[in-house]
Chain A
Amino acid sequence: MKIKLTIYFVLCLTTLASWSQISITGTILDESNNPLPGVNIIVKGSNIGTNSDFDGKYEISVEQGQILEFSYMGFMSQTIIISNQTTINITLIEDSTKLDEVVVVGYGTAKKSDLTGSVKSITSDDFVEGNNNSVQGLIRGKVAGARVTSSSGAEPGAAATIQIRGANSISGNNNPLYVVDGVPVPDSFSLGTDMNPNDIASIDVLKDASATAIYGSRAANGLVMITTKRAKNEKTRVTFSAASGIKVLVKPVEYASGSVMATIDNQIQEELGNEPIYSEEQIAEIGDGTDWIDEGTRTGMFTDYAVGLYSRGDSSTFNVNMGYYKDEGVIKNSEYNRLTLSANYSKNFNDKFFMDGSIRISHSKNNTFSFSEGNGRENVMGRLLNTSPLFPAYNDDGSYGVPLDNVATFDENPLPAILESTNDLRRTSMYSTVGLGYKFNKNLDVKVNSAFLLQDSFSGTYLPRVVPAGGLVGGYAEVSHRDVRDVLLEAFLNYNLDIKKNNTKFLLGASMQNNFNDQYRTIAKGFNSDAYLYHNLGAANIIDPLYSNYVTTKRQSAFFRMNNNYDSRYLLTATVRMDASSRFGENNKTGVFPSVAFGWNASNENFLKDSNVISNLKIRGSYGLTGNDRIPAGRSNALSETTWSTYAWSGTNGSVGFSPLNLPNPDLKWETTKQYNIGFELGLIKNRVQIEFDYYDKTTDDLLFQRDISRYLGKKTFLQNIGSVKNTGLEFNIDARVIRTNKFRWNLNYNVAYNENEVLELPEGAESLALDDNIGVGGSNYPGYHKLQVGKPISSFYGFEVDRLLQAGESSVMQPDLIPGEYTFKDQNGDGKINEEDRVSLGSGLPKVTMGLTNTFQYNNFSLDMTFTGAFDYVLFNVNKAKNESRWWKSAENRWTPINTDTDIPKQNGWANSSVSNDRFINNASFVRIQNVTLSYRFKKDVIGLQNFRVAMTGENLHVFTDYDGFDPELSSTNNPTKAGLDWNIYPQNRVFSLKINAEF
């Protein structure tokens, strides 16, 4: 009803406006007489405009004497002065020199043909469709060398991460710098989930030093430039989209049958000459037993609504967008809700003065559990995978089932933690910007930008008594609050100098950005009632000491860029940025990050200018330095801490003193990445086929490293810039409009990247460095399944190779602790001993090859998009399997027992005297995934009365081709690049089937 009214209203307006006007219709074709949809048709100097439909047809009302402009990316624009014609058919001519995307670079935009760096731009038309719970997911599989992964699987409200061109840093964070509409967003903001993907117009991924060095000490891991939607056409436009879908669990594993497991236990006891554990009646009652995964999961659902209003006046543009998103995960009670509101405004006051402003507000509420690695009882997924199926989920009276009396077990029912606990995470964020500009003349302008970013997060947890962890302490409440503020002020000057064929653009600017973080947390235990949840901590018997902290980062920078373009043939770019940061040590207060690059547009040379085959040929090369400034706060200073500093002078009350937190390092500085890049671009047949190829070689020195120091110094570690890592790689991207006929079109994008990672140097000249990680079972004698080793990639696993299962009556000379049903290992060096030296490298958790393939088929108004993603040559450590395969999973029915010896599944808890860091559990994880299939239909305008009315059906994660038998080959339970490839208690993967409509009027 509302829609009808609105349409009526719009029609009325149109009628009013069309007084004294004539209606022009026509068809727009390309040179091969194929219709061109989406061509912008505007009446010059007004806010009237339209787009051609799928058949290239358009209709517009104009007055005589006005000028119509037809423009379309990659084609030369045409203008027609209206006299008395009513039909104007246009043939647009493809312009290979103008076939230019405009890409976003630091502090401005550039034409792709003028670029000397490696940049890939993805516009919203090419974003991954479906249930995108984070911004990062929009470019999954779209950019060569940008690997999008998720450490929390399909968890609602969990952002994915992007890693560009491998991992540079061993200290924990290899995320790129995100820049939203020119504002660098610090790590402390939850940009990935807080931003509404529907608001984004394009994402540009900047990869090489020439493109990134303008962001200096924050650019070593690449840049992701996000541009939000603005009003484009000279008219008012309302967009609406609604999507909804179901999320179906990809069941990671089957539980064993309860009665089968009980019978096996009885048979074992019988074999040992003991009484059976379970009576016949008990076994009958157990039946199939409980499948805890079924009990803890559901079919999830998401809905996503977005509205946008775009308007362009003579001298101003305005848009406002709203969105609501609700995502219910496949684990019961996991849920994320988000409301977003954003607005952009820009205005030219006169020929000289212009300003813009924006505000972006997001509020989210998340019900979240702990899915971290670890063995804690609070870990929901860990419990769902590792609880005995022998006891019921619920008793007959509806209460939660408990383990059987006659069986010794530490198991507890995992369901109360999921169903009864309260885990609220609420976050409000606001990004606002104001910019002022002044154009002195057509060659010189200056802009001053300011931004204020705010994020306020509150989390409240309550575990009632019915949850075991809560019951132990009589109810457990935890409340924490964090607010982050960020202030940016920058100014820059653009100067354009034309001397004959030589065009030079200068950029000179300065910026300062300060970031403030405040945080507190408190824990209260022992309530007289569960009724308070976390809302009355004062009612608790015990209130833990309040924790609070405050962290700041302050940065000041100056930057300069020069783009020299000689006759569109020879390109030269030089940039330099100077960054000073409060995080840097006294002796290294300022870092200088230069880059230089050249490009040769060979296709603009005379000998190629007229070629019909080669429409674009460019060779480019760059070299530059970038930095990673993620240094923990204050560490260059001698800091104090209050931890371990309380002393009870009188023996009654503690007095809090302070102690040294660290040994100061005034030399502390950023990690430096030196990167070479050689690129090659080829466009064939008027750029119907575009190929891009890049080779890079980057070495990161001065790695931030918590180095072990002699204990007599009073501290165990010292943060120092030490060690070095190298990434070399190749990237290949092809975009092709393979078939273009009147009715049928086939577009293709294929991208593949190869990255070779190698540790060059470790602290103290060490050859290898075992990392302190442990999964808590098996192999406590051999902690550290990850190892940094010179010559090997980071995140390399190492462990034993399994030989066979020890059988009854046997003992192992080399592994004397071993008991039958456990694994023997291969003695790699043949010294008759199994020890540390027999552990070999079992592969890296970081893939060498990643790829994405997107095919788009269009037939009449139908469109079918298919995206495949893949990663190759890496391993995952299947910790879930290591811990559980012989316990309660289906596989445990065939585990080794004294009566079932012909098997390769070890005895129950068969890791007790062995090590799980072995090749049985560390497996190749190469895969190809059918990531996304979308079938859509775009209605003809005259059918429905709306513009761009489109209905789409999407299936996500439809199938994975892989030999890996764990949860999912793409998940890693930690983002820490030195510990990648751990498949442990991750939120399980799901398939999503959704329907989406888009409309514009």
Chain B
Amino acid sequence: MKKIIILIISLLVVSCTQYLEEDLLTNPSLNGLTTEDDVKASLTGAYAGLLGSSDPGYYGRNFLYLREVPTDNLFGTGARKDFDNFTLGTSNTIVVNTYNDIYAMILKANLLIDNVDGANIDEGLKKWYKAQAQFLVALGYSDLTSLFGPVVLITSSVNDIEDKPSRSSVEDVEQHILTLLEEAIPNLEKEESEDLPGTATLGAGYALKMKLHLKRKEWEKVDETADLITQLGYNLLQNVEDLYVIGNSFNSEIIFSVKTTGDPYGKSLNALAAGSTDIAQHQYDGQNDYWGFGTFRGELKVYYSYDPSDERFIKLFRHSFIDRKGKTVGPKTLDNKNNPAVNKSLPYIYSEKYPHPLAGTETDLRTDIYHGSTLFVSRYAEVLLAKAEALNEISGPSAEVYNLINEVRNRANLPNLETTGSFDQASLRDAILQERQWEFFMEGYRRDDLIRQGTFVEKIKYSHLKSSDVINVQECHQLFPIPEIERSLNTNITQNDCY
């Protein structure tokens, strides 16, 4: 008997510790990706990183706060005033959240890169998944250097928390991006993936590479890469407004875009995947249209700079609306340019590029704040204009340059550029920059364009219609502040000038 008891006790004492593993079913362990489903879910999570991990998110609203408000395109009000007036503090939540979001996406992508080799899938498929993750890391660092300049370079999912690295130079980070893209591009597919449509294609890889070369003013490489993209068969849509129709997120012009569903109630657990509220302009409170959050109001100066017959002007701006008292404000045309009454009642203009699908349907949009718009990262018009810019920089105006620009202009019902005046290299450079502003209004290109062409201060300073209304902007505002907390946690991290 005694023996039996002792046996029971010793069994209990030494019972194997493998029973002590937690049942991690709600939050399964990330260690190791086994099946293709695992890898696919991991990639989905990494792509979701493009939308950020805090509302309003990286390629959500924050993207426009950071890339359009602090330019001559948009006017910021309320908490966004700091972006417009360049009075940002070092703990601005939009800046901080975007910084965090990008690094969070990089971690997700790095986890995939580090673990995909162990998965039980075809070697080719492994390479493709890895290339997707590499593309995301490249995109993340491309945005980080654009926004913050030198940043800490993280190349693995496993890091020592106690390490205190310094910021890597922009050159080092950009070289890393190029290396990643060089590795990724051969493994990307030309066609959209059937299984995972919207993943980076070969075109997307090239477009990101081109963007970096453009930033680095490596004009020959821009030209070369643009040709590689053109060879893939992209072209412009016939009607420019079709680009912005909800649901039209796959067409011959879009090279890479971030997608949202507009449906927060389906399978989606992620409000951001549905698109966050106030990019969408036309909210309807049951009685009247009203104007979003009022955050993304265009500068009148841009509005008036369009040619009245420009389709991008006619179709993609809101020219009038019915106010809460039932009064029609506008119509606002260029004829009203100097009409102070109109300017007073409608001092800002709104883009229709991010329409709310339910606007005007008498639905109370306050409880349905998701839009479902496509957010462009690269589209073919950019390739044309980038190649034009590169060729002009290499050898000045030429028929080829004009042809590239005119392709974009003609689509918007504008005459050939050369018919509007004569251009030398410098004035053509300005014309291309202007064309880009018209074409890409509120699509997030403007900030990089101004910085690249060295007109950041000059253009932004006088972005308001009223010439006496000067914005106090300096060269150092080309970079956003490094979040304060980052510096308090790692004293080796320096702050950007101006802050």
Contacts and interface: CB of A to CB of B under 8 A. Distances in A.
Interface of A: 438, 440, 446, 448, 472-473, 489-493, 508-512, 516, 542-545, 548-556, 558, 580-583, 589, 633-634, 637-661, 663, 708-716, 718, 764
Interface string B289-311: 00000000000000000000000
Interface string B259-301: 1110101111110111000000000000000000000000000
B219 to A, nearest CB: 32
Contact of B486 (A446, A509, A550, A712): A712
Name the 3 nearest CB pairs between A and B, nearest first: A714-B107, A657-B44, A654-B268
30 contacts: A438-B1, A438-B5, A491-B8, A512-B19, A550-B23, A552-B22, A553-B22, A558-B12, A581-B20, A582-B22, A643-B270, A644-B48, A645-B41, A646-B273, A647-B50, A648-B259, A649-B47, A650-B198, A650-B250, A651-B260, A653-B266, A654-B273, A656-B44, A656-B269, A659-B46, A659-B48, A708-B485, A710-B490, A712-B165, A714-B108
Interface in B182-206: 196-199
A544 B108 contact: no
Interface residues of B, number: 81
B373 to A, nearest CB: 9
Contacts of B231: none
A638 B27 CA distance: 9
A580 B263 contact: no
B149 interface: no
A715 B196 contact: no
B489 A708 contact: yes
A638 B9 CA distance: 34
Contacts of A764: 489
B161 A712 contact: no
B260 A491 contact: no
Given A583-B22, A640-B27, A657-B42, A713 B269 contact: no
Contact of A656 (B9, B27, B41, B108): B41
Contact of B247 (A509, A644, A652): A652
A107 to B, nearest CB: 13
Contacts of B77: none
A660 B108 contact: yes
B268 A580 contact: no
- Give the residue among B110, B269, B367, B489 with the most A Cβ atoms within 10 A: B269
A646 B157 CA distance: 21
B489 to A, nearest CB: 5
B29 A647 contact: no
A714 B154 contact: yes
A581 B263 CA distance: 42
Interface stretch (B97-105, B344-352, B389-397, B446-454): B97-105
B114 to A, nearest CB: 11
A543 B9 CA distance: 52
A997 B30 CA distance: 61
Contacts of B469: none
A655 B48 CA distance: 9
Given A638-B29, A660-B30, A712 B272 contact: no
B422 interface: no
Given A659-B45, A711-B103, A713-B103, A651 B247 contact: yes
Contact of B17 (A446, A553, A589, A663): A589
A448 B1 CA distance: 14
B9 A510 contact: yes
B408 interface: no
Interface string B1-12: 110010011001
A262 B111 CA distance: 63
A555 B485 CA distance: 38
Given A712-B486, A713-B154, A556 B15 contact: yes
B47 A711 contact: no
B28 interface: yes
A611 B322 CA distance: 100
A642 B490 CA distance: 30
A649 to B, nearest CB: 5
A412 to B, nearest CB: 16
B152 interface: yes
Nearest to A661: B27
Contact of B12 (A490, A711, A714): A490
A653 B151 contact: no
A493 B10 CA distance: 11
Contacts of A556: 12, 15, 17, 19-20
B151 A712 contact: yes
Contacts of B100: 711, 716
Contact of B49 (A510, A659, A711): A659
A550 B5 contact: no
A657 B12 contact: no
A491 B45 contact: no
- Give the residue among B44, B249, B273 with the most A Cβ atoms within 10 A: B44
A997 to B, nearest CB: 48
- Give the residue among B23, B106, B108, B374 with the most A Cβ atoms within 10 A: B23
Contacts of A516: 23
Interface of B: 1-2, 5, 8-9, 12-13, 15, 17, 19-31, 40-53, 96, 99-100, 103-104, 106-108, 110-111, 151-152, 154, 157, 159, 161, 165, 196-199, 247, 249-250, 259-261, 263, 265-270, 272-274, 367, 372, 374, 483, 485-486, 489-490
A510 B263 contact: no
Nearest to B159: A713
B273 A510 contact: no
B13 A645 contact: no
Contacts of A641: 27
A642 B197 CA distance: 20
A764 B12 CA distance: 41
- Give the residue among A558, A639, A711 with the most B Cβ atoms within 10 A: A711
A643 B27 CA distance: 10
A634 B151 CA distance: 32
Given A542-B265, A642-B269, A712-B152, A651 B249 contact: yes
A712 B154 contact: yes
Contacts of A583: 22
A583 B21 CA distance: 8
Nearest to B372: A651
Contacts of B46: 657, 659
B29 A639 contact: yes
A473 B364 CA distance: 10
- Give the residue among B8, B48, B263 with the most A Cβ atoms within 10 A: B48
A646 B31 contact: no
B26 A646 contact: no
A514 to B, nearest CB: 8
- Give the residue among B46, B100, B489 with the most A Cβ atoms within 10 A: B489
A558 B12 CA distance: 8
B23 A552 contact: yes
- Give the residue among A512, A555, A652, A715 with the most B Cβ atoms within 10 A: A652
A512 B14 CA distance: 11
Contacts of A713: 103, 107, 154, 159, 161
B270 A654 contact: yes
Nearest to A511: B12
B356 to A, nearest CB: 16
A634 to B, nearest CB: 5
Contact of A543 (B8, B152, B198, B265): B265
A640 B270 contact: no
Contact of B48 (A548, A549, A657, A711): A657
Contact of A637 (B20, B31, B108, B267): B31
A654 B486 contact: no
Contacts of A716: 100
B26 A551 contact: yes
Given A648-B260, A654-B261, A657-B44, A580 B26 contact: no
B48 A646 contact: yes
Given A647-B259, A659-B48, A509 B161 contact: no
Contacts of B266: 653-654
Nearest to A446: B5
